[in-house]
Structure 1
Amino acid sequence: MSAFAQKITMERGKFYVKGEQISTYETKQLLKSNYEASTLFKKGKTKEGVGGFLLGFGIAMVAGDAVVGLVSDTEYPSAMTYIGSTSIIASIPVLSGRTKKIKQAIDVYNNGLEPTLGYQNNSRLEMNVVANSNGYGLQIRF
């Protein structure tokens, strides 16, 4: 996989490989080779989707209540305005961390591309004894 691995850069929310812009889908496909980077990227994109939904929902609720208040004799700041305002405020912290997660995913991916020589202390070697319906066994992860 590393033979086709290419360094990804991000500028203004767009992804580039060798100076050419690539889509989010292509970026996701490149990041699949690194589990940690892929997970971080998915978390960032999930935050982006949820935050965008909360923001859009809140704006629609406030605007809808304003229109209803203008064209009818109902009391203007109704529950719709308060729900919409709360949704807009809730979207701020959700949206604020998305870029950081995506940049972190790209950094993890790019750092994984750099060739390393010898044994590294930060590599994980994990050994567990596992038991299931088939019997007992030894599980080694590295």
Structure 2
Amino acid sequence: MKQFFLILAVFGFSISFAQKLEYTNGKIYQNGEQLSSFETKNLMKTDLKALRVFKNAKTKESLGGFLLGVGIGGTVADLVMGLTSDVKYPTAITYAGVGLMAISIPILSGRKKMVQESVDMYNQGLIDEKKTLGDNFELNIVNNSNGVGLRINF
């Protein structure tokens, strides 16, 4: 009976560690719950390549969004100044804003693919670990001042 519970516990631990991530509609889910970027980074700490790709995607998203926002803001501000005063419209601010918006498009274009790639890399690492879990399993009998027990390493 004890062996049955031990095998059940080991099987339960192996399933609980192998939690795949899903990337749908621009959001990352684990077991049906949406994860924030911070939680995703904490999960991906075990796979450094996937973490690096995910951080690069988030950097692209931040930089592209910033440039897009500055471009739109500059263009709208110049438009408002042109409509409310006697200043000749468009000025250099409008051209700079349009240029920043144009620059942000290629920066923002590859971020979703990079996030999908990082999630796939992370999930692939989970599959590889699951295949080798039996090889990395170690069961020891431990004796200390509290008594005798079992130690499971994997």
TM bracket (short chain): 0.7 to 0.9
* Correspondence 1:1-142 to 2 at 5 A: 4-114=17-127, 115-116=130-131
Instruction: Give 2:3's aligned residue.
Output: none
Gaps of 5+ in 2: 1-13, 133-154
**CA-CA distance at 1:36 after TM superposition:** 0.2
**CA-CA distance at 1:4 after TM superposition:** 2.9
Q: CA RMSD in A?
A: 1.4
Percent sequence identity over matched residues?
49
Q: Distance in 2 between matches of 1:21 and 1:42?
A: 18
Q: Distance in 2 between matches of 1:18 and 1:63?
A: 43
Highest Rg: 1 or 2?
2
**CA-CA distance at 1:24 after TM superposition:** 1.6
How many residue pairs were aligned? Answer: 116
Give the TM-score normalised by the residue count of structure 2: 0.72
Q: Distance in 2 between matches of 1:57 and 1:5?
A: 42
Q: Is the 8 A contact 1:5 1:30 kept in 2?
A: no
Q: Distance in 1 between matches of 2:18 and 2:75?
A: 47
Gaps of 5+ in 1: 118-142
Q: Distance in 1 between matches of 2:18 and 2:85?
A: 61
Instruction: Give 2:150's aligned residue.
Output: none
**CA-CA distance at 1:116 after TM superposition:** 3.6
Query: Aligned to 1:32, what secondary structure does the other structure show?
Result: helix
- Deviations along 1:25-62, one digit per CA (max 9) or x if unpaired, are 11111011100000000000000000000100000000
Give the TM-score normalised by the residue count of structure 1: 0.78
Instruction: Give 1:128's aligned residue.
Output: none
